[in-house]
Amino acid sequence: MEAWIRARVTLALTLFALLFFVSRSSPPRQFVISNAERRIDLSSHIINVHLTLKVENTGTRPASEVVLTLTPTEVDHLAMVDALAIKGKRKKTTSVRLEVKPTELPDAPPIDAKYFTIYLADPLNSGESTTLEVLYVFMHFLEPFPAEIAQSESQLVFYHDTALILSPYHIKQQTTFIKTPSTKVESFIRVEPTNRVGTEIKYGPYEDCPPYSISPIHVHFENNSPFAVVEELVQEIEISHWGNIQVTEHYTLVHAGARHKGVFSRVDYQSRQFSNGASSFRYLLARLPARVHSVYYRDEIGNISSSHLRTNSLKSELEIEPRYPLFGGWKATFVIGYGLPLQDFLFESSDDKRYLNFTFGCPLIGMVVDKLTIKVVLPEGSTDPSPVVPFPVEHRLEAKYSSLDVIGRTVVVLEKKNFVPMHNSHFQVYYTFNPIFMLAEPLMLASAFFMFFVACVAYIHIDLSIRK
Amino acid sequence: MATMPASASDLLKSFKLKTKQQELLIRVSILCLVYILAFITRLFSVLRYESMIHEFDPYFNYRTTLYLTENGFYDFWNWFDYESWYPLGRIVGGTLYPGLMVTAVLIYRILRFLRFAVHIREVCVLTAPFFASNTTLVAYFFGKEIWDSGAGLVAAILIAVCPGYISRSVAGSYDNEGVAIFALLFTFYVFVKAVNTGSLAWSLASAFGYFYMVSAWGGYVFIINLIPLYVLVLLITGRYSMRLYVAYNCMYILGMLLAMQIRFVGFQHVQSGEHMAAMGVFFLMQVFYFLDWVKHMLSDTKLFQAFLRITVTSAVAVGGIALGLGMVSGYISPWTGRFYSLLDPTYAKDHIPIIASVSEHQPTAWSSFMFDFHILLFLFPAGLYFCFKRLSDATIFIVMYGLTSMYFAGVMVRLILVATPAVCLISAIAVSTTVKNLTVLLRSKNKVVQTGSTKGSGGSKSSSKALLDQSQPFQKNGAIALLFGAFYLLSRYATHCTWVTSEAYSSPSIVLAARGAHGNRVIFDDYREAYFWLRQNTPQDAKVMSWWDYGYQITAMGNRTVIVDNNTWNNTHIATVGRAMSSYEDEAIEIIRSLDVDYVLVVFGGVTGYSSDDINKFLWMVRIGGGVFPVIKEPDYLVNGEYRVDKGAAPKMLNCLMYKLCYYRFGEMMTEYGKPPGYDRARGVEIGNKDVKLEHLEEAFTTSNWIVRIYRVKPANNRWWLNRYKFG
């Protein structure tokens, strides 16, 4: 409740400031957005915003940098931003992925906003126009209100935004569509023309909006989709050149929706499944690579017996059930582990290096990860590790001692905050490894046994008694 | 070319083993196999369930071991545990036997040093099987010491699979007994060896064995009483020797000094009534030695007789007076209730309900003797016969060990464990001797035949049969039949042991398994569900009240503070909990608030038909509560001396807190097809009070099969803000 008020106050202040500065300064821009369409999907707790912008260069010089604007709250919850340039007409469209980088505007108005710049592949000449598609993914952006609900209540959340797209450019025409998960909408602010049909609320079209114009709205609606959030996921990938990759994943799962309040009644939960605990969840689905073997699912106090594994030649699906259903604010920690055949993931590159090609992501489907740590444990004796990840991550090196290790194994640690399923992609870790190291451990064991037997033989043949 | 085969055959000849070497090879390989067998037969529990800690006490041991690995020995030794016995706490370092934990951590450290990346839990799970394997080795040497190596081998095999021992040493049963039986047998073996040899080194070893035993298990009292008794018997039967003098004195003095290093035992060796027998025998030994010396000095028999009389009288008198003075002044504490209950099986039932309430402290039924010993039960008297036939210092010891431990096994179910090694050893003597006699019979006949016939036809059996000695008809056939009979019995024993191990003794009792309607295996994992819920979703400092059985598990798995646990050191505290459970809700809430309890946990089997739940334990809560607080009276909960929960139950029963917590909203629940709602499957009745209302408590969590139910204590009405502060 308090947080909500604070958020509202902040937003209002920001908007006042914005309006104030907007009226004072409007720096000349090269671009004009002739048409903008925004589709906001609120059906789960991961919010997708698709923005289609038709950008026109009205300046005199060719330009290639289009600026996007977001409020600081939005940036805090932004998991990813992606931009595509659409080329061609009608059915023959092709899309090109563009580079997006956070920037500081030198001539920005002194307002509280953050900027991202899209670098167009070819500069847009004066008078030309192009279509850009921008995807924003936000997490933790829906605010449960009321913040605490009882078992039989369903979960209502607030979504705050502005009916007008915040942009440094003049927008000639714009429309916003908000899609809610169900028709149950408690309230929403109208900014005429506003129209609500079924699960969709349409704001606009609005004509000729000056730069930095805004119009705050909120939507208060029912969202019972599981707000399952992995607070922390530590994935350890241990490579053994004897033919196995062992993956161990430590999860800290939390239900980030409205907090559960008061009684948990099993009788109600069992007998009235739909009206009770509508926002809680029991099952999770993990998609594992094909040919997975020796899968386990456990936590600190032992094995959890409620899981099913379905495998076929293309993929494996592991359906797991935490020990108890998760209501708002409830936590569960668990570990999933599995083995994979080495040849599916480890390859040799042309320059005599080896590389691991693995999915950067969380196997649990539709899961938001606040902090994802991937540890690639390279075999003992490997050198020069270098990770290749398609998006920026923090990385560092560690050492780990596993069974029979003497010098320790090199561990490449990759860390990514605010991870959403859209990030799922492959990454590579290159390293050099001399196969002779594979023999170190067997030789050690063999020599230890040899020494033992030699000691036995020696003991039998040596007379240690004092008396003769 | 011609020399080559010759040298090769020479080489072969040099490799060919002599009979003695062959025997050694066979013996060592049998021992190795037994060693492995003893280990793997205890892994049934891991295969059937998982690598986990079992039951109740092992969870405490595991928790302390974890603490020891994380914080080191000195912190462990000084550990004051705030998480149990709230608000009293428990001085853990001074109230436990650290042997087990130290052993496990030592094994863990060694494995870590050797670069094996093991988890401490795996070490704990496998400690008991590992020590069981070691026990088989000790049994072999012990058998060899008291009889011969054949008996030793048989003893090793018998003890490796004996259910009486397996019941306490399966993988996951991380309890003191796991290492203590090894320590017990080792101490006895080394002591017998010391008595046989008179060697100071062996008696020193037995002192250290005793020290290990003291550090591991409270059952060391058995050693410190059996050994003096044995010495006394030897003295009385005129078997006093210098060997015995050296062995006992060294073992007693050093063992006592070492045992004092264990904080939980402290000065009990000189202060407690249970240890006085050992001290008395120690002084008696000195008197004997003195007399022996005087006899040696005095040549006059008459004079010696008079001297003997005076010395013995005065020694006994001094001893008696010292004991009396010690008792009166309170310096020597009287025997404890546990010790009494061992000597007198009915004592606990009348005086200490908390001891009598534990199922493993009940007197043993015949069936469980049969279950745990199987054929050993018949072989045991036979072995005793052989022992008496060949009396020696060693056999006297094993006979005494066998007889006393058998008596204790009859008093308490759990002491079958102590009797098991003795029973195995004595039975092994019976088996080994019988088989040996029979085979000697067979072989000697063959020799007669061979000398009587030509060498060529001697091998064939048909010809030798005709030449049998006429004076003993069918002797060979009888021997063969008997041999087969013995092997049949032993194979039955092996089958029985395997069956018992896999079916009865491998259940962790945390996870319950049942057969579903289609013969599939259904797992009830409710305990861990509830404990994990507590661990994840309650405030860090939440206090949980439950019956003491679940205390260790809640602290170990749920990581929350408990009011009482399985240590049962404070009877009043337990009685307070018992009183709260057996009072009406508004009386109970006073007690609950005074104990600062946040959650109340009960175990309920009405939905699944799990019979060892709190309703079935409830009468013990009433008894223990009533033992301290006379407000609670057992007859109030019974109807005509009968305990029931249906409509005919006593009104106090239907409205006490335990009943309400177990059956809250159970009246709406359909448990079985064709039965009315609120049908209790554990007791097979429809419950009497279906409209249970709770005023001061609210349901916080119930597991999927209702086995564990957790209730949250609501703050008092004028403290509603606490709710937000505590749970918000």
Correct CATH for A228-442 of 3.30.360.10, 3.40.1160.10, 1.20.1260.10, 2.60.40.1730: 2.60.40.1730
DSSP, residue by residue, B391-439: --HHHHHHHHHHHHHHHHHHH-GGGHHHHHHHHHHHHHHHHHHHHHHHH
> For residues B675 and B686, what is the distance between their CA atoms, to the nearest angstrom?
8
Chain B residue closest in CA terms to A301: B557
> Of B537, B557, B699, which has the smallest distance from its Cβ to A330's Cβ?
B537
How far is CA A16 from each of CA A23, A104, A114, A160, A215, rounded to the nearest angstrom? 11, 22, 17, 16, 11
Kindly give the pairing relationship between strand B521-524 and strand B512-515.
antiparallel
Chain A residue closest in CA terms to B524: A305
> B665 and A264: CB-CB below 8 Å?
no
- For chain A, the three-class secondary structure string (H helix, E strand, C coil) is CHHHHHHHHHHHHHHHHHHHHHHHCCCCCCEEEEEEEEEEECCCCEEEEEEEEEEEECCCCCEEEEEEEECHHHHHHEEEEEEEEEECCHHHCEEEEEEEEEECCCCCCCCCCEEEEEEEEEEECCCCEEEEEEEEEEECCCEECCCEECCCCCCEEEEEEECCCCCCCEEEEEEEEEECCCCCEEEECCCCCEEEECCEEEEEEEEEECCCCCCEEEEEEECCCCCEEEEEEEEEEEEECCCEEEEEEEEEEEECCCEECCCCCHHHHHHCCCCCCCCCECCEEEEEECCCEEEEEEECCEECCCEEEEECCCEEEEEECCCCCECCCCEEEEEEEEEEEHHHCEEECCCCCEEEEEEECCCECCCEEEEEEEEEECCCCCEEEEEECCCCCEEEEEEECCCCCCCCEEEEEEEEEEECHHHCEEEEEEEECCHHHHHHHHHHHHHHHHHHHHHHHHHHHCCCCCCC
DSSP reduced 3-state for B473: coil
Structural contact between residues A82 and A135, judged by C-beta atoms closer than 8 angstroms? yes
> A301 and B525: CB-CB below 8 Å?
no
Task: Flag the least confident range among A378-387, A456-465, B214-223, B376-385.
Answer: A456-465
Residue B5, pLDDT score: 53
Residue B462, pLDDT score: 43
B interface with A, Cβ–Cβ below 8 Å: 49-50, 52, 115-117, 510-511, 523, 525, 528-529, 531-533, 535-537, 557, 665, 668-669, 698-704, 706
Burial-class residue A443 by CB neighbours within 10 Å (0-12, 13-18, 19+): exposed
Closest CA to B592 of B57, B54, B86: B86
Find chain B residues with C-beta within 8 A of A333's C-beta.
Answer: 536
* Domain contains B704: yes
Q: Tell me the count of A-B CB pairs closer than 8 A.
A: 73
> A263 and B702: CB-CB below 8 Å?
no
Residue A20, pLDDT score: 47
Closest CA to B547 of B357, B345, B329, B403: B357
Radius of gyration of chain A (CA): 28
Residue A28 has pLDDT above 50, yes or no: no
Residue A90 has pLDDT above 70, yes or no: no
> B698 and A406: CB-CB below 8 Å?
no
Domain ranges of chain A: 31-222, 228-442
Find chain A residues with C-beta within 8 A of B513's C-beta.
Answer: none
Q: What single-letter DSSP state applies at residue B547?
A: -
* Domain contains B606: yes
Q: What single-letter DSSP state applies at residue B93?
A: T
Shortest Cα distance, chain A CAs vs residue B346, angstroms: 39
DSSP reduced 3-state for B257: helix
* Domain contains B107: no
Cβ neighbours for A160, distance < 8 A, ≥ 6 positions apart = A7, A8, A11, A143, A216, A217, A218
> A303 and B706: CB-CB below 8 Å?
no
Interface predicted TM-score (ipTM): 0.88
Residue B378, pLDDT score: 92
Residue B673 φ/ψ, nearest 5 degrees: -65, 135
Burial-class residue A12 by CB neighbours within 10 Å (0-12, 13-18, 19+): exposed
Shortest Cα distance, chain A CAs vs residue B641, angstroms: 34
Give the helix/strand (H/E) hosting B345. Answer: none
Correct CATH for A31-222 of 2.60.200, 3.30.70, 1.25.40, 2.60.40: 2.60.40
**How far, rounded to the nearest angstrom, does the alpha carbon of residue B154 sit from its chain's CA centroid?**
23
> For residues B559 and B531, what is the distance between their CA atoms, to the nearest angstrom?
8
Chain B residue closest in CA terms to A448: B114
Structural contact between residues B666 and B690, judged by C-beta atoms closer than 8 angstroms? yes
Residue B6, pLDDT score: 53
> Of B117, B669, B699, which has the smallest distance from its Cβ to A263's Cβ?
B699
* Domain contains B665: yes
> B116 and A404: CB-CB below 8 Å?
yes
**How far, rounded to the nearest angstrom, does the alpha carbon of residue B317 sit from its chain's CA centroid?**
39
Which residue, among A148, A149, A264, would best test binding to B if mutated, counting the most B CBs under 10 Å from its CB? Answer: A264
Find chain B residues with C-beta within 8 A of A264's C-beta.
Answer: 699-702
Residue A6, pLDDT score: 57
Closest CA to A241 of A436, A396, A388: A436
Shortest Cα distance, chain A CAs vs residue B376, angstroms: 37
Shortest Cα distance, chain A CAs vs residue B465, angstroms: 46
> A403 and B701: CB-CB below 8 Å?
no
Residue B164, pLDDT score: 92
How far is CA B497 from each of CA A318, B129, B405, B489, B501, rounded to the nearest angstrom? 38, 15, 21, 12, 6
CATH number, residue B554: 3.40.50.12610
Task: Flag the least confident range among A57-61, A367-371, B458-462.
Answer: B458-462
> B532 and A324: CB-CB below 8 Å?
yes
Instruction: Write out the two tokens for A257.
Output: 């929706």
Q: Is the dihedral of CA B389, B391, B394, B397 positive or negative?
A: positive
> A403 and B115: CB-CB below 8 Å?
yes
Residue B458, pLDDT score: 39
* E strand intervals along B459-595: 512-515, 521-524, 543-545, 561-562
For residue range A316-347, what is the model confidence (pLDDT) as tens digits?
999 999 999 999 899 999 999 999 999 999 99
Task: Flag the least confident range among A217-221, A352-356, B87-91, B671-675.
Answer: B671-675
In Å, the largest CA–CA distance within chain B is: 111
Residue A468, pLDDT score: 56
**Structural domains counted in chain B:** 1
Cβ neighbours for B714, distance < 8 A, ≥ 6 positions apart = B696, B697, B698, B723
Shortest Cα distance, chain B CAs vs residue A19, angstroms: 38
Residue B573 domain boundaries:
525-713
Per-residue pLDDT band for A16 (boundaries 50, 70, 90) equals: low
DSSP, residue by residue, B287-307: HHHHHHHHHHH---HHHHHHH
Chain B residue closest in CA terms to A252: B536
Edge-to-edge strand order for the sheet containing A143-144? Answer: A143-144, A156-162, A216-222, A185-188
Residue B464, pLDDT score: 44
Residue A9, pLDDT score: 54
* Domain contains B654: yes
Find chain A residues with C-beta within 8 A of B59's C-beta.
Answer: none
> For residues B304 and B67, what is the distance between their CA atoms, to the nearest angstrom?
62
Fold matches, A31-222 and A228-442? yes
Q: Which residues of chain B register pLDDT less than 50? A: 1-3, 449-470, 727-728
Q: What is the mean pLDDT of residues A412-418?
A: 92
> For residues B84 and A291, what is the distance between their CA atoms, to the nearest angstrom?
47
Find chain A residues with C-beta within 8 A of B536's C-beta.
Answer: 330-333
Kindly give the residue spans of alpha helices, DSSP state H, lying in B262-375.
268-271, 276-297, 301-329, 337-343, 347-351, 353-356, 366-373
> Of A262, A324, A404, which has the smallest distance from its Cβ to B698's Cβ?
A262
Find chain B residues with C-beta within 8 A of A324's C-beta.
Answer: 529, 532-533, 701, 703-704
Shortest Cα distance, chain A CAs vs residue B466, angstroms: 49
> For residues B690 and B675, what is the distance between their CA atoms, to the nearest angstrom?
14
> B117 and A402: CB-CB below 8 Å?
yes
Instruction: Write out the two tokens for B246.
Output: 């050296």
Burial-class residue A205 by CB neighbours within 10 Å (0-12, 13-18, 19+): middle
Which residue, among A254, A267, A276, A404, would best test binding to B if mutated, counting the most B CBs under 10 Å from its CB? Answer: A267
Shortest Cα distance, chain B CAs vs residue A270, angstroms: 9
Shortest Cα distance, chain B CAs vs residue A138, angstroms: 27
Cβ neighbours for A271, distance < 8 A, ≥ 6 positions apart = B668
Kindly give the pairing relationship between strand A129-139 and strand A78-87.
antiparallel
Residue B456, pLDDT score: 42
How far is CA B598 from each of CA B591, B594, B701, B713, B722, rounded to the nearest angstrom? 12, 11, 13, 5, 11
Find chain A residues with C-beta within 8 A of B533's C-beta.
Answer: 323-324, 330
Residue B260, pLDDT score: 93
How far is CA B648 from each of CA B670, B681, B689, rounded to the nearest angstrom? 21, 17, 10
Find chain B residues with C-beta within 8 A of A329's C-beta.
Answer: 537
Find chain A residues with C-beta within 8 A of B52's C-beta.
Answer: 302-303
* Domain contains B356: no
Kindly give the pairing relationship between strand A293-299 and strand A284-289.
unpaired
Find chain A residues with C-beta within 8 A of B701's C-beta.
Answer: 264, 266, 324
Find chain A residues with C-beta within 8 A of B531's C-beta.
Answer: 301
Mean pLDDT of all residues belonging to chain A: 86
Give the helix/strand (H/E) hosting B232. Answer: helix B220-236
Residue B372, pLDDT score: 93
> For residues B336 and B325, what is the distance between their CA atoms, to the nearest angstrom?
19
Q: Which residue reads 């025998």 in tokens?
A: B281
Q: What single letter denotes the amino acid at residue B426?
A: I
A interface with B, Cβ–Cβ below 8 Å: 262-267, 271, 299-306, 323-324, 329-333, 401-406
Find chain A residues with C-beta within 8 A of B532's C-beta.
Answer: 299, 301, 323-324, 332
> A403 and B116: CB-CB below 8 Å?
yes
> For residues B680 and B670, what is the distance between their CA atoms, to the nearest angstrom?
10
Shortest Cα distance, chain A CAs vs residue B524, angstroms: 9
